[in-house]
Structure 1
Amino acid sequence: MTDERIKNVSGLRKAMIRPELGAIAGTILVFAFFLIIAGDSGMFAPKGIQNWTVVSAQFAIIAVGACLLMIAGEFDLSVGSMIGFAGILIAIMSVQWGWPVWVAIILAFVICIALGALNGFLVIKTGLPSFIVTLAFLYILRGLTIWLSILTTQKTIIGGVKQVAEGDWLAAVFGGTILTGLFQWFADIGLIDTFTRGSREGQPVVEGVPMLVVWALGLIIFGQWLLTRTKFGNWIFAVGGDAQAARYVGVPVNRVKMMMFMFTAFCACVFATSQVMEFGSAAADRGLLKEFEAIICVVIGGALLTGGYGSVIGAALGALIFGVVQQGLFFSGAESSLFRVFLGTILILAVILNTYIRRMITGER
């Protein structure tokens, strides 16, 4: 028997309350805009596509964790500091202490996930808003990162990671590329340009798919599956919608929140590790403002700041918009500082749209 509340909902209304709607429209508009103003600049050539895809993947990795946590009704403002902290840990353990890179990476993940659990524990046990708890950790972790870096090296940038990571099995999982043979074949048949001089003559300008992109796609697929296809996903929505009501029906609210804080820290460490392997160095100021960029991606993707509503696919599209705009400004020759203007503008528009959608759902006026 069809629920009467659903039967009378029009198809247009069903479409309007989809969390991804704003992100889909935004993605189409952004691509159309830059196709017009930067279409001849190489932005949509293979190398240009790789550039904005990699940037979008960076945003997407942290946006997935932020999305699930925000749907569960919490925030984590320590994500950016966690990125810098994890990167410095890996560099110190591998370069300064001479430990195998795979050991450094695993220990960095263990420490970051433990810190995520500590964030969750403090939020649950003290009843303080996660905004306050994680804001405190934003400063604590940033300070620890700078202190550890200066204490061990007298510098805030630690290089040499690429050299010690050469041949390491786990480093390749975060910093390598896949499908290199396929891209070489594309170059051989003329689908991709090749270098015409120097030591790389004849090699494709795009060597393969970076592992950063693979991680982003994997996390997006996992997050969407977890949220929409599992009982745990229902719990996430229930906890963010009404935690007390969720407790009454047997949802382990505290466990869900704790695991979401841990998953957010895991995503931050994935970002940090991939970045360290890509650049071959770690810097104490890495990840600056990334927590806010992740939240904006999620809001663009349709999540409500009050929790209980959102979409991983929407957050991924928000990350794609960010990547395309950031690189599009570069290819079009515009001032890079305009990217911050875009962030603020798109945040306001997304919140207005999401508020309107919430009122449609709840029937508020």
Structure 2
Amino acid sequence: MNIFYNTKTKPSIPSNRFKTAIKAFGLAGLLIAGGNSFAQDAKPGKIHIGFVYPLSTNGTHAPLDTNRLSFHLLAGVSSVETGFSFAGFSNIVRNEAKGIQFAAFSNHIGKKAEGVQIGGFANTYGEGQGAAFAGFGNISRGNVKGAQFAGFGNIAKAVDGAQFAGFFNQATSVKGSQFAGFMNHSNKDVSCSQLAGFINKAENVNGSQFAGFINIAKKVKGIQGAGFINIADSSDYPIGIINLIKKGEKGISVTTDETTSTMLSFRSGGKVLYGIIGIGYNFKNKDEVYAMEAGFGAHWFQGKSFRLNTELTGMSVESFKAGEYFKSSLKVLPAFRIGKHFEVFGGPSLNFISTNTAEGRDLHTKFIHTWGNKWGNSLQALYIGYGGGIQFIL
């Protein structure tokens, strides 16, 4: 065997493919080493991909990790999220979350959520800055600066923004607005407006309340608009059939008009606006004799002994058998105070009637304009009338 080196023979040079393979193996080694050290330390900026905890790239270490991107087919667990996280069922973030969290069922963030949470059913978080959208409910254990949108309900402490819910909103205090299909409730003050299908309740309202049935508050600086009743310590602009305002005015009145419909009515409200509800009897009709009235009014040019009242009312005269008579009236009623508790008032009215009975047609015969059927009893008419009464102020 020739063990000597032939100086005339040149040493072989590795091919280009061989060089490329060496570089690839070296790069793979670096990646593996870097990946192992990366998995051992809780460093920010990870990409977390998996099925369900702990079947993911972060494994059992996932609850300690900070991720900038997370994607899980079922559910993901992490310490902090700084970008976008997606889960087919639920995202669970033990501490803070920034960016967007999207889950088909729920997002659960232990501390502050800053950005957007979209949950098919619910979002729960410590406090929030941004917006939360849920098919059923958003629950914040702390304050929210932004908005909550839920198909059923929103719960938070202090809200600086807005709450929108299909059924109810609950907050300690609100600096913004609450919109709910059924109820808005605030334990303290509301700065702006509450709008609910049935009920609003708050302490002091530096704005307005609008509800389908009832509003409850202490001091209201704006409008209280309810389908039936408003309750407050102080409210100058309640719009409701019954308004129980502690610092307002309540009175029982007896009135009559040009059709001899005599009403016993309850008037209640604030310093400016008030509501009217009453029952009565028509002395001109034989069959249609029972009368019911409801409406709204306003006080103008108020002094010690005189003020001007304007009222918009609707009255129905019924026999509870067949036929109908309905009258809408705009009344201008100068009022004079007699002593501390009595007031007399009276004046002209602009009236529109709709009736389909002969007795209804005979209640008033002089009209500005009529619409009706020449061959039947149907009549719609516009005319000038009058009315007045006396009120005992409680």
- With structure 1 as the length reference, what TM-score do the two structures score? 0.16
Query: More relative contact order in 1 or in 2 (CA 8 Å, sep 6+)?
Result: 1
More helix by share: 1
Higher strand share: 2
Q: State TM-score, norm by structure 2.
A: 0.15
